[in-house]
Structures are given as C-alpha cells and as structure tokens.
A and B are shown apart, each in its own frame.
Chain A
Amino acid sequence: MPIAYPSQRVAYPYFAIALLLFVLQIVFGIWIASNYAFNLPQGLVDVFPFNFARPIHTNLLVLWLLLGFMGSTYYMIPEESGRDLFSTKLAYLQLVILVGTGVAALVGFVLRWTSGRPLLEIPFTLDILVVIGALIFLFNVGLTLIRARKWTVTQGSLLGGLVFLALLYLFDLPFYRNLTIDWYYWWWVIHLWVEGAWELVAAALTAFLLMKITGVPRATVEKWLYVELGLFLFTGIAGTGHHYYWLGAPHYWIWVGGVFSALEPLPIILMLWDAWKHVKERQIPMASPLVFLYAVGMAIYHVIGAGFWGFVHTLPPINYYTHGSQVTVSHGHVAFFGAYVLLNLTFFYYAVPRLKGFTKFNERPGRIGFWWMSLTMMGMGLAFGVAGVLQAYIERVMGFGFMTAQAQMQFWFQILVFFGLSMLAAVAYTVANILTLKPSPVAGGSGNDLKKTS
C-alpha cells in the first residue's frame, strides 16, 4: 500500500540528501585512512591536515543519520497519529536550515573554522542554527501529535528520544575551563545520544516497521518496546560511566561504568530476539523480503558491533590498554553501521517505494548491496581491530612509543584503504538503487507469499 497522507512526501528529500551525504562521508573516510596508510609530503599536510579532514568525515555521518531519522519521523508520524503533518512548509524550511548549516560547517573545516572539540567541532554560530532547526522539527512533530490527540507508545518513544536528543545538545554550547569537566559533559552529548536518545528513536522506528511488515498486533510490539526502552535507559544512563575511568573523575566510576555497561548488550539482544520472533510469527505475507533481510541484518549487526565489541572494550582491565586506540575505532565503525546506518537503510527501503506509489520492486540489487556493504564492514572492523590490538600491545603493554606501534600498524591501514574503496562502490551502488527504484510486478524471491495474497 502506498502512502496514505500526502504530507509524508516531505520525507523523500530528507532521504535523498542523507544518501548523497553518506557517499561523501565514505570519500573522506578513504582520504583519512590514506593519511594513516601512506607517507604524505609536508606541503600537503600543511595545506589540508588530518585534523581538518577528520571532522568532515564524522560530521557528515552525524548529519546524514540525523536527516535520515528526521525524514523517517516525518514519514511515520502521520501514519501513527492518523493525521497529516502540522506543516510541510516548516519541514522544508528546517531541511534548508540544517543542510545549509552542514554545508557551511564543511566549507568552514577546510578554512579551519572550528570550536575545537572532537565530533562537535562546529562553531557556536552554527550551533545556534542547528538548535533553531531542531526546534522547528520538535515544534512541527509536537503540534502534529497534539492536534491528532492519539498517543501511542511508539510515538512517545520517538518524541521522547528526539526531545532528549535536543536537550542534551545544549551541553555542547558552553566553554568549559576545566578539561575534565569538559569531557564529562562532552559524553552527555556523545554517549547519551548514541546509547540513549538515538536508541529511543531507533527502537521506535524499528517497532513501527515491525508492526507494518509483520502485522503483529500493536499491544505485543509495544509491550516489548517498553521493556527494551527500560533496559536501554537503565544500562545506558549510568553506563556513561565507562567513559569516566581515566578522566580525572572519582574512582567509583570504574565500578559503576564497568557494571552498567557490562549489562548494555541485554536490551540489544532482546531487540534481536524480539525482531526475530515477530518476523517468524508474522500475520501478513512477506511483501518485501529485502526489508526483512535488512531488519534482521540490522539487529544481528547491532548485537555484534555495539553489544559484543562494546562489552569487551569497556571492561576496565581491558580498557586500560585499549582506551583511545584503534580498538575504539573498530568498535565505533561496526557499532554505528549496525545500529544506525542499517536502520536508516531499512527504513528507506521500506518507505521510498511507497513514497513513489508502489510496494513491489526488483530486490536483487538491494540484496547485493546489503551483503556487499555488510561483508566489507566486517573486513574494516577486523582491519581496525588488528591494528588496535597491535597498538595496545606494542605501545601500551610493551611501552615502545607511539610511532613504533604505528609503523607496525601501517600495513593494516593499507588493507583498510582497499576496504574503503570497496565500501564506496557498495554504498554508491546501494544509494543509486534506492534513488532509482521502479515498480515491478514481482518482488524478488517472494513467489509463495505473493500467491497467498492473490
């Protein structure tokens, strides 16, 4: 069934821009990996140094994921509340503000305009624009829900996550005199985003998709949603402590952070079990096997990258040697891919055909893209991981010095550049596929299900 509310269409430009930024993100990723893998001339390093290329890679990631979440929210809210969006004009205005701010930030990095805090480099002036964009978004979504007067747990989780996300961003705004306090609150943005607010958004979008594609009753899906959210927040909030071990904060954070973050895989495993169970007990025929593949793939990858890798890396005796090494980078890449990249792509593969007025399309390219990206990311995670273990052992355990370790790791970064090129091709292929989907009488590989429907 195509979309029921015309205002859902605002989602499409959000998705399209997000996907193009995704491709650009990988291009800069390959560039910064090359900085590790090869010896660059001093003249080039002086003109375009690593420290102004990396923020382009990371800020593009945050920007496109957030645009994806916002587009998905605009798609989902009308169907959940049974009412068109409060204003499509505001939605477009918000998109222009956020993308404009993004472009200004990227050009700014090349010109060395920065606030100097990793991942949150954009200067104060641009921060204000981001806050304005976020306020328009919350206003628009909030007013739609208030006018509809229909509250669901899924909506609550989504709106709660978005408000929480916006509030936490405020902790980025001040200048902190004390470095320790600075990092203490930096994690309120970074950690409480990805292991708090974003998980609420992700859980809501996943619950919405599961209801739509499996037909499992709302009461069942939302009951488990409550349990997952409870566990996410229980482990995630105090779990922030796993960033406070070596910060100059009190010693008890080693215990609080260690214990709570050891529990963090629980909600993720529950989410996988939950998705798997709903898919197995589906009440309606499988309209799009590709969306199922993505949804289950996302849940499994989430468990590996965020759950397992995160669990190992945050145990304090291990973290003493792996903290701030390439092990962190390995965990970051696999976890973000599993938790948030695949989530966005799952949603896009569900929503884009419907926005274009059909549900069945040739799914072969989508499947190829999924396996190509997922296997490449495994390779990347392993290459970063091997480099990280070498670093932890040579630099931290043996005490041989930073550059001695880096020399031994260089080979793995050359492998990484290769995987990066593979990832670029895979992402470009997938993005091109999503943006050019065409209706097809038969969705790939679902012959049996189709017969049942007719």
Chain B
Amino acid sequence: MSPKAARAIFYLGTLISLILFLALTVDTHRQVQTLTHADQLSDQVVSGKRVWQKYNCNDCHTILGFGAYYAPDMTKVYWRRGAEGIRAMVKNPELYTTWRKMPNQHVSDKEIDDLIAFFKWTSEIDNNNWPPQDAKLRATERKVVALGVSSGAVLFQEKGCFGCHKLFGTGVTVGPELTHVGGRLDHNTIEKILDNPRSVNPKATMPQIPLSHEQRDQLADFLTGLK
C-alpha cells in the first residue's frame, strides 16, 4: 500500500463516520422528544433526577442499563414496585433487603416524591422493550389480571402489588403469596390490612398504600375471590 493510499484511508474513514454520526445525532434529538415523552418531563421529574444524582444511586443501580451492576435496574422500577413500593424501600431499605443491603441515605419525603415522579417518567421511555425481564413480567402480569377482569385485579397490578406478592407463579415473594388468600382471610380483614397493614400483624413490613374507600373495597373483593 502506498503512503498516499494510507492517508486517504485515514481522511475518508474519519470523515464518513463523523458525518454519519453527527447527522444521526441531529435526527436523534428530534425523535427523542417523542420516544421519551418529553412533554411530560415536568420540573418534578427533573428534581427527581437531581435526587437520583445527589445520592449517587447510579453507582449501585443501573438505569437504562448504565451505571453499576450491584443492584437491580431502575428503568422500569415503577412497573415492578409502584409508587408506594419505591417509597417504602427508599425510606427503610433495611426492612426489605436481606443479604445484599441497600444503605439508608435518609432521603427526605419530598425528595422521595420527586424520585417517584422521575421513575414514573423513565418507565414510559420507549427503549425497544429493554430490560427483557421487566418487559416479560409486565406482559405476564397483564395476562394474570386479565383472568380477574375486575377493577380490583387491575388495581392489583397498577399499585405494584406484584412487587412483593406472588399470584399464580408471577411476582415476588417478599410478602406472602396471595394465590389462595381468599381461603385464609375474609373481606373485612383484607380491608383492614389495606387500610393499615400493622393493624392485623404489628410486625408487618408492608407499606401503607394510599387507596380510596372504593378502591380498597374493589381490591378486597378481588382478593377474597382467590380461594
């Protein structure tokens, strides 16, 4: 190869790649507006991002798959845990982690609200269905609640109950499995637990989920039906 050809490879290779990359960058900026629902990027979501950075969360957790690999990915955590699941975990991690522990960083209540808004927004980013396990879980959850087709069943998924409880083999076993809960607890007891988890079992670590009277009733209806 002549030195001239070598130089040509250098200039041509660099230029082609650079032009392509910069052109796609411009287009990406345009498309990201839709893909990330930038219109819903409120000031609270941005404050939540600042909380995420302030406590250096990203050096244990990944988000969009980037960061450290010590703790679960947070992109779709809002699907897995729901708002109250996230709040409970950040406030008292020592109650919910066993052998690999999360530090209690004393995040304030307002900061947790912002963080939840941030996670809600990230969960809606259209990122080619990644991570696979959350995409799959979401699909199975939907199938499981479709069995119920009641408003209580839908609430069960929306409020993140799967984040701690198993139903027909789907979900997590931080809390008790609920597939046959209707055989163990009556409507009234379930409503009491939903209203204040510690009223029935004083040692319960379940967070209190804000629900209206009607929602509590619907959820208890659904759960008592599981026998």
Contact = CB atoms under 8 A, between A and B. Distances in A.
Interface in A372-413: 395-397, 399-403, 406-407
Interface stretch (A2-10, A71-79, A230-238, A333-341): A230-238
Contacts of A397: 132
A179 B68 contact: no
Interface stretch (B50-58, B142-150, B185-193, B215-223): B50-58
A401 B134 CA distance: 9
Interface string A219-244: 10011101101110111111011011
Interface stretch (B9-17, B109-117, B151-159, B196-204): B9-17
Nearest to B60: A51
B214 to A, nearest CB: 32
Interface stretch (B70-78, B81-89, B176-184, B205-213): B70-78
A32 B128 CA distance: 32
A40 B50 CA distance: 28
Interface residues of B, number: 71
A52 B122 contact: no
Nearest to A39: B99
Given A51-B59, A178-B41, A402 B32 contact: no
B35 A116 contact: no
Given A50-B70, A114-B56, A223 B35 contact: no
B49 interface: yes
A229 B13 CA distance: 9
B18 interface: yes
Nearest to B7: A226
Nearest to A182: B49
A227 B46 CA distance: 45
A251 interface: yes
Nearest to A402: B72
Residue among A42, A179, A326 with max Cβ neighbours from chain B (10 Å): A179
A177 B49 contact: yes
B172 interface: yes
A248 B53 contact: no
Nearest to B73: A324
A91 to B, nearest CB: 30
Contacts of B69: 324-326, 328-329
A399 B128 CA distance: 17
Interface stretch (A252-260, A280-288, A306-314): A252-260
Contacts of A253: 24, 28
A249 interface: yes
Contacts, number: 211
A49 interface: yes
Contacts of B27: 250
Nearest to B132: A396
B100 A403 contact: yes
Q: Which of B20, B53, B59 has the most CB of A within 10 A?
A: B59
B133 A395 contact: yes
A223 B1 contact: yes
B53 A46 contact: no
The listed residue with most A CB atoms (<10 A of its CB), out of B53, B64, B136, B137, is B64
Given A245-B130, A324-B73, A179 B49 contact: yes
B168 interface: no
Contacts of A245: 128, 130
Given A50-B68, A249-B35, A231 B133 contact: no
B70 A254 contact: no
B35 to A, nearest CB: 5
A418 interface: no
A172 interface: no
A112 interface: yes
24 contacts: A42-B94, A45-B103, A49-B103, A114-B54, A118-B67, A177-B49, A178-B36, A180-B125, A181-B29, A186-B66, A227-B1, A227-B10, A230-B9, A231-B13, A233-B17, A233-B18, A246-B65, A246-B130, A250-B24, A250-B27, A250-B31, A323-B131, A324-B62, A329-B69
Per CB-CB distance, the 6 closest pairs between chain A and chain B, nearest first, are A116-B53, A324-B65, A234-B13, A246-B130, A230-B10, A51-B59
